[in-house]
Each structure stands twice: as C-alpha cells, then as structure tokens.
A and B are shown apart, each in its own frame.
Chain A
Amino acid sequence: MTPIITIRGLSKNYGDKTVLNNIDLEVMPGQIIGYIGPNGAGKSTTVKILSGIIQDYEGEITVMGKNIKEHVLEVKSKVGYIPELAELYDLLTPREYLTFIGKLYKLSDEVIEDRSLKMLTSFGLYNNMDQRMDSFSKGMRQKVLITSGLLHNPTIVFMDEPLSGLDANAVILVKELLQALKQEGKTIFYCSHMMDVVEKVSDRIILIDKGSIIADGTMEELRQNNSDNLEQIFSRLTSNGDFVQKADDLAAAMNDRTSPGQYKSINE
C-alpha cells in the first residue's frame, strides 16, 4: 500500500531554536495516528506543516502523492485542519462562519447550507446556528471549529487537541466520529494530551519529544511486554518521573515549609 503521507528529513527552526529535528515518517491511508508529546515538543508545528500553513521548512513531504511545497493548494483542499481552541470571527453566527469557510473551499451555497445544518444539528447546536458566537462557551466554539474543518469532506484530517473544552458527552461523540471517519477510509492525524483517548482510538501512536520521534508503534508494541498504559509509557519516556517529589515541594511551598529534596531541580 502507498503511504498517504511521507515525511523525509523534516526540520524546522525558529531562530536558534530547533522545533523539529530530522523527522522521517510514513502514514498509511485509513489509519488513526495518535501524535503525542510534551508541551513544546513540536506537535502543532508538524500539523501546521502537513496542513500547508507553514511552508518554510527543510525536508520533503508528500501528501497523497503530491509534494506539499509544489502543490500546496491541492493538498489544502484535501485536508481538514482542526486547531485547538483557535480564534474564530465570533461576531458571526455559526451559519455565517461556515458559509464563509465553505466559500474558501469553493463549495456551493446548497452544499454549505445542507452540511452545516446536519453537522451542527449532530453537535447539538441547531438552536444556536443563528446566534452570534461571542456568547458561546469554549465547547460550543470547538464544535464549530470541528465542523469547519470537516465541512469540505477532507481525505486527511489533522486534529490538534480537538477535545479542548468539550464536555463528556461531546468527547464521546468525537471519539465515535473518529471511528466513523476511519470507516469511511479517512486518515486522521490526532494530537492530544488526553492519553486515555489516544490509547483507545489510535491504530498507531507516535511519541515526539524535543523535535524528534522517540517512540512509534501500536499500543502493544509500545508496551514492550509491560502492562503499562499510555500515560505511564509517556511519563517514562519524556520525564524523569519525580512527580511525587515535585508535588511535595508544591504542597510544602504553600505552607512555608521546605520539603526534603526541595530546590533539587533548581540546583541541578
């Protein structure tokens, strides 16, 4: 099978800071990829590069057989990008915002209207379709963002913390949505800090830290014959694990005490 995404030697620097360091990756179609890593690891940058938003990088990337630098518009029209709690023009109503987005993807008025209505209704926003979004909660905005990323029926969906602000029911709905999209053969690139969700929904998990891939495989492969869950694997690979000590330090600081071993990390 031909990979739907191929990344060769991807590097990205912001000034002196290296955000992505020589990443190689192949993604097969129809997979859900869980892309995880600590804050600042380079997850969002990867997703922005793969969505065609950042075009200033080193390395070669093909999406659906097209070099992204040479065919950025074709790639953008086939991928959906759902950022985490991104800003939207919230003086508009969801219906108006989706009409605007639909036009950017060259959808007809009828298709926009029909899809917006159905998708927002599924998200429980039917009654809010013509209400300005400046009064919306975080979760409601995120639902509109998800809808806007899927409105043009993309083949690949890049999701960056799509569950931010969503309530428990909406989280279940999005998890089911991921499975439904997978059934339709769509590839999903899913960034999140919610390890339990990533563990449950992903066919393959990629762990990135300091701009490099440090683990890549199915959940079973990552376990390496241990009974660890993803949270424990994540912690083992990306931190020195002294959480108990740090928690003690925090509690001690509140009570004007010094806990044994406090300031160890500073001194180190």
Chain B
Amino acid sequence: MLPSGLWRSLGADTDQLTAILNMRLMLDNRRPMGFGRRQAQKKDIKNGTLINTFMFGIMGVLYGIPVYLISDRVLSMVIYFTLIFLMITLTLITDFSNALFDNRDKYTLFPRPINDRTLVLAKLLHVFIYLLRIVLPMALPAWIAIGYLDGWASAVLFPLPVLLLVFMSLFAVNSVYLIILRLVKPEKFKDVISYFQVIASIVFFATVYLHPRKMFEMDPSNMFDASHFQWVKYIPTYWLAACWSWIGVPLTFGGGIFMSLLAIVAPLLCVIILVKYLAPEFSRKISGIDSAEVSHEITVIKNGKAAKPGKLYLKLANIFNRSDAAKAGFILAWLQTSRSRTFRMRVYPALAFVPIYFIYLLTQNGSSISEAYATLPGSSKFILLLYMSAYVLINALNYLIMSEQYKAAWVFYSSPVETPGNIMIGAFKALCVKLFLPFFTAISIFTLWIWGPKVIPDIFLSLVNVLLLATCIARISFRQLPFSSMEQIKQSGGKVIRSIITMLIPFVLGVGHYLSVHIWWLKLTFIFLSGALLWLIWDSYAGTNWGNIRKEDA
C-alpha cells in the first residue's frame, strides 16, 4: 500500500520498511495506546486499536464543541484546530516515547543490515500512522457536524487542513524532543519526558474541567472586537482555518489568501526540515540514549569514589517503624516512589487534580473564580476540600502495589518475614509521610487562611477520617505486598461488593462530618470514634498474614 517509489527515492529499502512497519503496528495493536491504557484490562489488549478508536471518537465529540456552537466558522476552526493540535502533540510527546525508546530495537533491528534512512523513515511513518489513528476518529464528529451545518463544500475541504495539522504536530513533537535532548543529558531524557507526562495530564485535566465554559463564552457576536486579536494571525492553526476562505468564508482576523497559502507551505516546509535535518539528528541522539549506560559508568569511575548516599530514608524508616519488616517496606516504598516513572506519572498529577477539581466545583454555578473565592469564608466548602485530599492517598495506594518489576517481589517470599502486613504498613507509612501529609498540610494551611482557626477540629477530624478511609480501602482492596503486582491484572472475585463498600465508607464519613459541622462536642466524639476505628483497622491491615495476601505472581 505504500508509494514504494517515494520511499526508495528517499533512500529506504521498501521491503524492510514494510516489515518493520508491520511489526510495529502489530505491537501497537497489542498495546493499548494513550488514554486507554489506564482502564484497559488484559482481555481488552487484543482489541486495543478498536477500543482506542472509540475513545478518541468520544473525545472528538467533546473537542468538536466549538464547531457546533460557534457560528463564526473561521474562529470555531481556529479553536478546534488549536485544541486538537495541543491534544495530539501532548499525547505524542507523552505516550509515543514508550514506543520510541523500546530497547528491543537494540537487539532486533540494530544488528540487521538496515540503513539509517530506512530506520528513520520507519520511525516517522510509524508516528504518522499512529497520529492518524488518533486524529481520524477524533476528527470524525466535527467532520460530520461541519457537513451537516455548512454543506458539502466545507465537508470536502475539512480533511486537508486536518492532514496538514498532523504534519505540523509531527514537526512540533520532534522539535520538543530535540530541544529537550539539547538541554539535558541523554540518560536524563526519559526522566524529563516523564515529568512532561505529569504536566500534560494536568493540562488535559484542567482543559477538560475548566476550559469548555470559556469556549462557549467566545461567541464573537457578544464578546470581542476582532481587531484586538490580530496576534491570532501568527498562530499556525489560524492559517489552517484560513483555508475556509477558498469556499468564500470571510476571514475573521483578516490576512486574505496569503494566510491559507501559509497553511500549505508551512507544513510542507516542516516535513522537509523534519526529514532532512531533524529526524537524522534525532536518531543520532536516540542512539546516545541507548549508550547512556556506558557514559554513566565512565563518569562514576572517573570520580574515583562513590557519591555520598542520602540516608534520610533510613532515619525516617527507623523513626516511623518498629519492626524490621516495616522498615524494609518503608525503605522500598520511599525510594521506589521517587524513581519509578510509572508511579510518578500516575500519582503526582493527582496532587494538581484536587485543587483543579475544587475550583471546578466552586465555579459550577457560573461564577468566576474570584467571585467564588470571595464567597468561600461564609461557606462550609472546606470539608469538601479536606476530604478531596483522600483522592491523593487512595490513588497512590492503588499504584503502590503495582510495578513493572513486579517479579522482583520474589525476595519477600524467600526472606524470613513472619507477617507480610508489616511490610505493607511500612510502605503505607512511607506514602503518608512522603506524599499525603505534606499535601494535607498545604491544604490545611489554605483552609486555616480562608476560614480561620475555628476549623482546626474539622481539619483533625477530616485527617483521621481520610486515614481511616484509606486504611479501609487498603485493607479491602490493596492487601498486597508493595510493588508486587503486574499492572492491570484482572481483579479477582468480589470486586463489586468491595467497590460498594469502598464507596459507602466515604459517604458515611462525609455525612457524619457535615452533620457535626456546627456542633463542637459531636465533632470531638467523631474524632475519638474514628480514631479508635482507624486504630482497629490499621492493626488488622498490619496483621495481614501470608494466607491473606492476594498473590498475583512471584
């Protein structure tokens, strides 16, 4: 299906190119991409592409909102293309890095007689197809809407700027990678990408929750004078939207036919720069990442002596734990949670989700952030905020038991550990000390600042309740050794009952607290009752024996 002549003229071996692409696409199909990954279960992986296509289609419905609601076609397309552009570029940067740095290439492809251009083209085409798989289902809802609203001419035009958008995104992603590679050492590259992933998921979350309302407000009829927004002309997505001038749509921000020519010329230029300059340099840099191991070793040997180790984890492990098994769990969790990219990517964004979601809830009645902020002191919304912090701890607990290196948990089974619950409780404490308590403290300071010292008992009650909730959930759902379980393992039976109980607990706790908000003695009673319950469940969790452990694999 490939235009073989074109690839040959670019210096690629078409047989090898086809073989590599087929292999990569087959692997993609077996590995859920992007947003599907978190929810995907083992059985779904077989249909990875189908599921993702459906999910991207659903997302496309949301991203298409400006197309349905904003009558000015050029303005709506600028917003729509910008959203799609940001979305696919961020997805590519965050998600595609996994495929890009697949170490197996080192063994499967590098030793074979394949020339550089074939490798580079295989990589680029793979990215291109990968992007199309995202963009096509995502663009479909807007395409249908445009056909329905504007007629056939607009619908026929639509695919061209979308295709050009993909080229622009490819260029942007390669540029971002190259900039990162210029700024950081190759061995740090993957770490930087993982932080990028954290930021990207926060941006997505914020966009989904805080952005749509702003978009609806952007109706030009009641909102702005286009002459104040002349800078829009310099945004490439405006050039793409300018293509609508070909079918007689007036350009909201001016610029005439020249703008629409830029839409064609700029992506073509991008592709030429990409193939000729960026891609080969990118390949060289990537191979630098592969050999990072060697350069790292040399650096250490040159230094002549080992770096001073940080012993904070050891001191804290000794302070917070009595048994050695708990200390071992604490040490492992403390160190792994800082270094595991997967853990960082999954857990750290939750720290931002809580304030974003809180703002979303505050502004849901249509008020602006400043209006909502002004009404805070008179409300009891601090309860909401304090309890939302539970999300951080529960989400972290969920990922505490998972690891890509879950097989390394064999050491727990070969060591003389009498009560594995001790290891689990040590790891739980590490999460609390390192992640949850600092976060809760920050939220408490904000709460005290807005509502004053009268809410101190509420802070204590919510802290005890959140810990109680997390311990209950850990006791019910995460009774496993830290980092001992494969991700997305299918849950065993009783999941529904567990889920119901898990949902009931916060409801009961939250209602209890809300009812006692103005009755101080009831609050104190609740603190003691919840504290006692926490102690009991904590003890039960710490007493988990080998028979209780849900062993996935060892």
Contact = CB atoms under 8 A, between A and B. Distances in A.
A27 interface: no
Contacts of A106: 324, 416
A95 interface: yes
Given A73-B416, A103-B325, A135 B411 contact: no
Interface in A114-133: 126-132
B405 A104 contact: no
B410 A83 contact: yes
A7 interface: no
Interface string A133-159: 001010000000000100000000000
Contacts of B272: none
A263 interface: no
A242 interface: no
A103 B416 CA distance: 10
A89 B427 CA distance: 15
Interface in B414-431: 414-418
Nearest to A52: B414
Interface string B263-299: 0000000000000000000000000000011001100
Contacts of A105: 324, 415-416
Contacts of A103: 317, 324-325, 327-328, 331
B320 to A, nearest CB: 13
A52 B415 CA distance: 9
Interface string A52-67: 1100000000000000
Nearest to A77: B416
A121 to B, nearest CB: 10
A87 B406 CA distance: 8
Contacts of B303: 127
Interface in A78-112: 81, 83, 86-93, 95-96, 99-101, 103-107, 109
Contacts of A221: none
B339 interface: yes
B304 A127 contact: yes
B410 A100 contact: no
B6 interface: no
Contact of B306 (A96, A99, A129): A129
A88 B314 contact: no
Given A87-B405, A127-B301, A132 B339 contact: yes
B305 A76 contact: no
Point out which of B292, B296, B335, B554 has the most chain A C-beta atoms below 10 A from its C-beta. Answer: B335
Contacts of B407: 86-87
A167 interface: no
Point out which of A52, A127, A128 has the most chain B C-beta atoms below 10 A from its C-beta. Answer: A127
Given A104-B324, A104-B328, A135-B292, A93 B309 contact: yes
Interface string B302-345: 01111111000110011000001101100110011001100000
Contacts of A131: 296-297, 300, 306
A187 interface: no
Nearest to A83: B410
Contacts of A128: 297, 300, 306
23 contacts: A52-B414, A53-B554, A76-B415, A77-B416, A81-B414, A87-B407, A89-B336, A91-B336, A96-B313, A99-B314, A101-B415, A103-B331, A104-B324, A104-B325, A104-B328, A104-B411, A104-B415, A107-B324, A126-B306, A127-B303, A127-B306, A129-B309, A132-B339
Ranked 7 nearest A-B pairs via Cβ: A103-B328, A104-B415, A77-B416, A91-B339, A76-B416, A87-B407, A87-B408
Interface of A: 51-53, 73-74, 76-77, 81, 83, 86-93, 95-96, 99-101, 103-107, 109, 126-132, 135, 137, 148
